[in-house]
A and B are shown apart, each in its own frame.
Chain A
């Protein structure tokens, strides 16, 4: 069977799915299950992104998974991710060390609309690994503090050993520009802070109705946090949710991340609550 290969320009067109090589410049394990990487593209090109966007990160032979970008977009020559060991691909990633490569596609999706936050009070509610994607926004706001109103940050984890970013937390706690509150579901003997689910932090914090809120955490968290925000009189269009769905392609094709008529990978992962509260299956 003769098969002439086709020689029009479309043969040179690029695949959406071929990743780029990124070198691991730093790697450390802040907890027993997470690893924090600082990466740089092997060809030296910068990663230009908005806070809240994601990457497909992989190890060839094992696959790739969606991961939030955990560093500020103001530093583009290197970028950071934190990966929690969950299954096949995340384990392969977390077995890599300084000098090794990861294979990356992105940035993908739709991040936080920082211009819409500018000039307003901001509350970030981050549960568990949800602190990682929001860290890009936290750093961004901290760097341009004067552009924003009051800045409140709630961070909750299962237990004290699961709290990520110890150096950052020190800074957040000590910086008067940030009202930082943390909580754990289960304390240990060393813990003197708040114990309880993240919504318990709302008790001692009064929020203005004009506050812009960002929520990122496990699926179960959203409903309870939104209930608190409703009581505080915060409008749906001022609430941003960072949603998690199974992903394969990251470019709106494979169908895995679909929520009603939206695709989490390209219409999100950041949505306003107004956009999705009527979409069945969203929250």
Chain B
């Protein structure tokens, strides 16, 4: 909508005031790494982060989310969104949120996710330091993905703050913003354009090419054996991925053994029992018995099935899976390039 400017010191006051009145979640340091966490004051906020261990999806889709509470004779849903400002989300993670918004909304609206999503204002921020395995420049083709309410770009001495929605605009009242000048807006654009050039890896194929070739590779046993041969089905690549959203549902008793919760937990399609069903007499049937078929399923989902729905692969190019995989076989650039070039 419009561009504003806030001085560095006023930005501190803005964040502090915000944090006193609302829940603010943003990048904070955790030992040598970064995570999205609740922020009490601006000193904790680390907009110079390269990447967080887990993506911000956890704000709407927590690793462990209570869906219902029960006691001996009643069950109650627990949807209770909390007004939140999610600050400092990199553009590739905004894209990830935009994809999960679509997926939790399509066909059956999942209010256990959407209620918190709607109660959240997202302030994106420019990438000041590009993570070593990132390739988002070739995945999101723009620094301006849908799904955020305002965009913050760091310049020397202050920030350009661009509002995108009325929710983003509402934040203006909480700080000392002034209209941005033409040169400030131009400087912000060039900072963002520079970041695009800093991703070391890239995946130079169109979404349609990727969908078609990955689908065609389904029956190529040799290819999938080769790609997945070192996989030990740990599911780490799923866990760190901003667009993975599979889950398990489990009931958990309280200590009284009469009441408890129905809770959903993140789940991972790479783990062995994900598609197994129990048969009478203690047997099992597993529709994806081998690690090759599970590894293939992950890439079919991202590269073909969800790609066909979303119009682009369900991959933002964040590079988290590349770093999380102990045997370094999860990197989508490597996997997709191998599929594209296999002959």
Contacts and interface: CB of A to CB of B under 8 A. Distances in A.
A18 B68 CA distance: 6
A3 B247 CA distance: 27
Nearest to B38: A1
A8 B250 CA distance: 29
Given A2-B21, A281-B288, A86 B77 contact: no
Contacts of B19: 1
A169 B250 CA distance: 38
A278 B271 CA distance: 26
Nearest to A267: B107
A171 interface: no
A281 to B, nearest CB: 6
B305 interface: yes
Interface in A262-283: 266, 280-281
Contacts of A21: 73, 75
Given A4-B83, A17-B67, A60 B275 contact: no
Given A1-B40, A17-B262, A246 B111 contact: no
A235 interface: no
Given A3-B82, A5-B81, A87 B248 contact: no
Interface stretch (B8-16, B113-121, B130-138): B113-121
Interface size class on chain B is 35 or more
Q: How large is the interface on A (under 10, 10 to 19, 20 to 34, 35 or more residues)?
A: 35 or more
B287 A245 contact: yes
A254 B103 CA distance: 11
B177 to A, nearest CB: 22
Contact of B246 (A251, A254, A281): A254
B304 interface: yes
A244 interface: yes
A19 B269 CA distance: 26
Contacts of A15: 67-68, 77-79, 111-112
B278 interface: yes
A218 B19 CA distance: 56
A39 B24 CA distance: 47
Interface stretch (A44-52, A61-69, A183-191): A61-69
B275 to A, nearest CB: 6
A85 B281 CA distance: 9
A17 B75 CA distance: 11
A184 to B, nearest CB: 15
A252 B104 CA distance: 9
B277 interface: yes
A255 B267 contact: yes
A240 B267 CA distance: 31
Looking at B76, B247, B269, the one whose CB has the most chain A CB atoms below 10 A away is B247
Nearest to B21: A2
Nearest to A253: B110
A251 B106 CA distance: 10
Contact of A251 (B108, B114, B115, B257): B108
A81 to B, nearest CB: 16
B2 interface: no
Contact of A13 (B114, B246, B251): B114
Contacts of B308: 261
A17 B249 contact: yes
B34 interface: no
B119 to A, nearest CB: 4
A189 B22 CA distance: 75
Interface in B125-180: none
A26 to B, nearest CB: 21
Interface string B221-265: 000000000000000000000000111111101000100101010
Given A101-B73, A260-B300, A248 B248 contact: yes
B70 interface: yes
B245 A253 contact: yes
Contact of B115 (A2, A11, A280): A11
B248 A2 contact: no
Nearest to B309: A261
B75 A254 contact: no
A13 B257 CA distance: 29
A2 B22 contact: yes
Contacts of B75: 18-19, 21, 60, 103
Nearest to B73: A101
A244 B286 CA distance: 11
Nearest to A33: B280
Given A87-B278, A103-B75, A13 B247 contact: no
B77 A254 contact: no
Q: List the 5 shortest-distance A-B pairs measured between CB atoms, nearest first.
A: A255-B246, A6-B119, A13-B111, A261-B305, A6-B81
Given A11-B81, A18-B77, A87-B278, 12 more contacts: A1-B19, A3-B82, A8-B119, A13-B111, A14-B111, A16-B111, A61-B260, A253-B104, A258-B301, A260-B305, A280-B218, A280-B219
12 contacts: A2-B21, A2-B23, A4-B82, A5-B80, A6-B83, A6-B115, A8-B119, A13-B115, A15-B112, A86-B278, A248-B247, A256-B246
